[in-house]
Amino acid sequence: MTKVVDPKQLAVWTLADLYTYLTQWAYTIYDTSVHDSLGETPLQVYTDAIAATGEREHRRIAYNEDFLMATRPSTPKGNAKVQPGQGIKVNYLYYWNDAFRNPVVEKTKVSVRYDPFDMGVAYAYLEGRWVKCISQYYSTFAGRTEKEVLLAAQEIRQQDKRNAVSTNISAKRLADFIAAVQEHETLLMQRLRDLEAVGVLENVTPNTEGVPQFPRVNTLEPEMEAHSQDDEPLPPLQNNVELLDLTQLPILGEYR
């Protein structure tokens, strides 16, 4: 594949913009246009089917904290040992919750999960419930993605390899590395990609009524039609706005 046809060289759309316009096409254009095979719009077919058979609410999955916890990833082992005074270790980082002070919990293995879009927190299953644990370097890792942390660890390994020293990746080294992220182009590029993914995640997150929020796409065409002669006149100007008298403007000579 040459650079002339390589999509990576020609890409101009961000992930969030692509999602916005794709949903606009799917729900505004395609869904409301008459389908050749159906003889009516897909939206009308769906509405009629719901009216005839019901919504099957028993199969609906609520987008809530229970759903998010069930879909959050875990470590390859699936559990971590509660270290006294340190907590649980997930992806190079230690996380703490005051429930770990219980002597019964110390040095026991608990199920763990984490948020790949926020490495500042992790979750441990204690006494039949999930508890939220905070990273020891929360101010640095809050809002950082899993890919950023793993990429930072990879960069540290490469630096140690070039310097011919043994690699010892700790939470402090990762925190110091990410704090200077502006100096590392590779990590910055990953940061931009992850922010685009977060933008899409926010768009698909339902509102209080459980309906995904599809951003409105502004186009020039409706604005031009709004100012056509057939439409209603524009609202009157405010009192503090003065009309420009073109007859009072000075006539300047042609510049050569």
Q: Which of 203, 219, 236 is the last residue of a domain?
A: 203
Residue at 168 is within a domain: yes
Residue at 230 is within a domain: no
Bridge-based pairing of strands 109-115 and 79-81 is antiparallel
Residue at 74 is within a domain: yes
Cα–Cα distances in angstroms (integers) from residue 66 to residues 80, 127, 128, 129, 183, in the given order: 21, 17, 14, 11, 39
Residue at 240 is within a domain: no
**Is a pLDDT exceeding 70 seen at residue 119?**
yes
User: Do 152 and 199 fall into the same domain?
Assistant: yes
Residue at 44 is within a domain: yes
Number of domains in the chain: 3
Question: pLDDT tens-digit profile of 132-158?
Answer: 999 988 988 898 899 988 888 888 888
Residue at 12 is within a domain: yes
Expressed as residue numbers, the domain containing 80 is: 68-141
Q: What percent of the chain has pLDDT over 70?
A: 77
User: Do 80 and 137 fall into the same domain?
Assistant: yes
Q: Which residues pair with 130 in a beta bridge?
A: 125
pTM, entire model:
0.61
Residue at 191 is within a domain: yes
Question: pLDDT tens-digit profile of 218-252?
Answer: 444 444 444 445 555 555 545 554 555 656 656 55
Phi, psi of 122 (to 5 degrees): -145, 175
